[in-house]
Amino acid sequence: MSREKTTIYRKGLGVQDKIKNRLEQDYFSGIVSYLKAHDFTLSSGGLTIYLAREFGFCYGVERAVNYAYQTREKFPDRRIFLIGDMIHNPFVNRQLREMQIEILPVPETGKEDYSFLKKEDVVVLPAFGIPVSTLELLKQPGCILVDTTCGSVMSVWKRVESYAKEGYTVLVHGKYWHEETRATVSHALKAPGGKYLVVLNKQEAQFVCDFIRRGGPREGFMEKFRQALSSDFDPDRDLQKIGLANQTTMLRGESMEIAEMIKTALAARFGAKNLTKHFRNFDTVCSATQDRQDAVVELLTQKKVDLMLVVGGFNSSNTGHLAEISSKYVPTFHIENAGCILNDKAIRCRDAADGREKIKRDWLPIGPVKIALTAGASTPSSIIGEVVTQLLAFHRKQIE
Ligand code: SF4
């Protein structure tokens, strides 16, 4: 197919001043500003709320949302599309849909096909990036692309590409189904003979380590990682030189442990003195994710609280990890928005242990209560502000 010329915006669209007010109107919260100005603390009638010092929108998401708004401003009459969700927050995605920014339809065959796009259409690429093959397909019709891929994600891509070029199998600590990881592993395939494998957690990493040390039935390995490895992966051949990276929103502690496990297994198999030829590692958890995780630990080790509320999309990886960390310290409720606080007796939340949505009862202690609060990197302040308002209302009602 002949290719039309594609215009790609990567550094904004030059209409920042025109969208400032609209962004503020959609995402600003007076009550969150109050908390920040008052040592991240708010007390009222026996309820004390402590907000983590790093919370909510990260630089990558803020930029992506900003570019999406700029796109609508610059092209008021064009069809504008997104590749799936822009970020993992239902409120933000709804706002974009209200601006007639639609998600690209997936054909019934499940096979990507963007041939219906016209030259004058605009497609906004998400902060977590898209696979190399999808970008190539999107370039075919010659439409306008607005690339909001976060710089921290692109650094992981560079790392992964360099591993693959040097003949290392790319091993990613991440979720194989997550958009960011799908985009990341596609960069391993840019190098001739590039290979990848994705492990979700320490259990899966242990399985890989056991195979490195002792080998094993190839079929068992292939079945376990069926959806998480490159098409011609061969565990007997492709686990001898490994370069590690991680999805930017994982738990850094877990990523480090996995790196150590793989390193030890390779040293056992090939000898410690040969390790540099067999193992590469670079921590690719982004600073925004790390700052939010650290702020949760700091808050929960410094303040004695009754519970923690973590606000963010139920499908948001980094929000889930904040809840996981917090639940090691205090009872934790991961909610999507203020609507999840049904009343002072019941709350709808995502269970950190099994990832399922549940209604939990008697979540708000009676009497004076101290609540810690944080939000994932895709949660705007407006949503956090609504949660605070709801908390104040239910607590007041409880006292009455
Ligand atoms: S979480 Fe990190 S990598 Fe992802 S968009 Fe935000 S800053 Fe970028």
Catalytic residue among 62, 179, 180, 254: 180
Both tokens of 9, joined, read 């915006």
Rounded to whole angstroms, the Cα distance separating 359 from 342 reads 9
Instruction: Report the 10 Å Cβ neighbour count for 216.
Output: 14
Q: Within its chain, how far is the Cα of 165 from the centroid?
A: 27
Of 150, 177, 192, the domain-final residue: 150
Instruction: Report the 10 Å Cβ neighbour count for 368.
Output: 13
Question: Is 60 exceeded by the pLDDT of residue 2?
Answer: no
| Contact in structure between 216 and 223 (CB atoms under 8 Å) | no
172, 137: one domain = no
Mean pLDDT value across the chain: 95
90, 193: one domain = no
180 is annotated as an active-site residue:
yes
Give 229's contacts (C-beta < 8 A, 6+ positions apart). Answer: 195, 196, 197, 198, 222
Rounded to whole angstroms, the Cα distance separating 215 from 209 reads 9
Residue 108 CA to ligand 1 center (angstroms) comes to 31
Residue 153 CA to ligand 1 center (angstroms) comes to 7
Q: For 349-367, how does the pLDDT look when each residue is reduced to its tens digit (9 = 90+)?
A: 999 888 899 999 999 998 8
**Residue of minimum CA distance from atom 7 in ligand 1:** 60
42, 136: one domain = no
277, 158: one domain = yes
**Residue 24 domain-assigned?**
no
- DSSP secondary structure, 211-261, as one string: HHHH---HHHHHHHTTTSB-TT--HHHHTSSEEEEE-TTS-HHHHHHHHHH
Rounded to whole angstroms, the Cα distance separating 196 from 209 reads 15
Residue 61 CA to ligand 1 center (angstroms) comes to 6
215, 323: one domain = no
157, 122: one domain = no
Q: Within its chain, how far is the Cα of 187 from the centroid?
A: 18
| Contact in structure between 52 and 374 (CB atoms under 8 Å) | yes
DSSP classification of residue 341: B
Provide the number of structural domains found in the chain: 3
179, 250: one domain = yes
Question: Is 70 exceeded by the pLDDT of residue 99?
Answer: yes
Question: Is 90 exceeded by the pLDDT of residue 270?
Answer: yes
Q: Residues of the chain with pLDDT > 90: what percent?
A: 89
Ligand 1 binding pocket, CB closer than 6 Å: 58-61, 127, 150, 152-153, 248-249, 286, 288-289, 318, 377
Sequence length of the chain is 400
Rounded to whole angstroms, the Cα distance separating 78 from 118 reads 10
Of 150, 184, 202, the domain-final residue: 150
**Residue 23 domain-assigned?**
no
323, 234: one domain = no
Residue whose pair of structure tokens reads 């599309």 in the numeric block: 81
The dihedral through the CA atoms of 315, 318, 319, 321 has a sign that is positive
**Residue 134 domain-assigned?**
yes
294, 305: one domain = yes
**Residue 245 domain-assigned?**
yes
DSSP H or E segment with residue 114: none
Both tokens of 244, joined, read 């590690």
86: left (phi over 0), alpha (psi -120 to 50) or beta: alpha
- Tell which atom from ligand 1 comes closest to the C-alpha of 64: 5
371, 392: one domain = yes
Both tokens of 37, joined, read 């100005």
**Residue 325 domain-assigned?**
yes
Q: Within its chain, how far is the Cα of 321 from the centroid?
A: 10
Average pLDDT over residues 123-149: 95
Amino acid at 276: T
Residue 317 CA to ligand 1 center (angstroms) comes to 11
Instruction: Report the 10 Å Cβ neighbour count for 203.
Output: 8
**Residue 300 domain-assigned?**
yes
275, 298: one domain = no
- Tell which atom from ligand 1 comes closest to the C-alpha of 287: 2
Residue from 54, 66, 248 to probe ligand 1 pocket by mutation (most atoms less than 8 Å from CB): 248
- Tell which atom from ligand 1 comes closest to the C-alpha of 127: 5
Average pLDDT over residues 142-157: 96
Categorize the per-residue pLDDT at 26 as very low, low, confident or very high, splitting at 50, 70 and 90.
very high
- The domain that holds 105 is classified in CATH as 3.40.50.11270
Residue 312 CA to ligand 1 center (angstroms) comes to 14
Rounded to whole angstroms, the Cα distance separating 295 from 301 reads 10
Domain span at residue 222? 152-281
Q: Within its chain, how far is the Cα of 211 from the centroid?
A: 30
Residue from 55, 289, 378, 379 to probe ligand 1 pocket by mutation (most atoms less than 8 Å from CB): 289
Rounded to whole angstroms, the Cα distance separating 388 from 49 reads 8
- Tell which atom from ligand 1 comes closest to the C-alpha of 59: 7
Q: For 163-187, how does the pLDDT look when each residue is reduced to its tens digit (9 = 90+)?
A: 999 999 999 999 999 999 999 999 9
Of 121, 150, 179, the domain-final residue: 150
Average pLDDT over residues 320-343: 96
Question: Is 60 exceeded by the pLDDT of residue 396?
Answer: yes
187, 175: one domain = yes
Burial class (CB in 10 A: 0-12, 13-18, 19+), 39: exposed
**Residue of minimum CA distance from atom 2 in ligand 1:** 286
Residue from 148, 249, 286 to probe ligand 1 pocket by mutation (most atoms less than 8 Å from CB): 286
**Residue 133 domain-assigned?**
yes
Phi/psi of residue 245, each to 5°? Answer: -145, 170
Average pLDDT over residues 284-301: 95
pTM for the full predicted model: 0.92
Q: For 208-225, how does the pLDDT look when each residue is reduced to its tens digit (9 = 90+)?
A: 999 999 999 999 999 999
**Residue 53 domain-assigned?**
yes
Rounded to whole angstroms, the Cα distance separating 82 from 29 reads 26
Determine the pLDDT at residue 354.
86
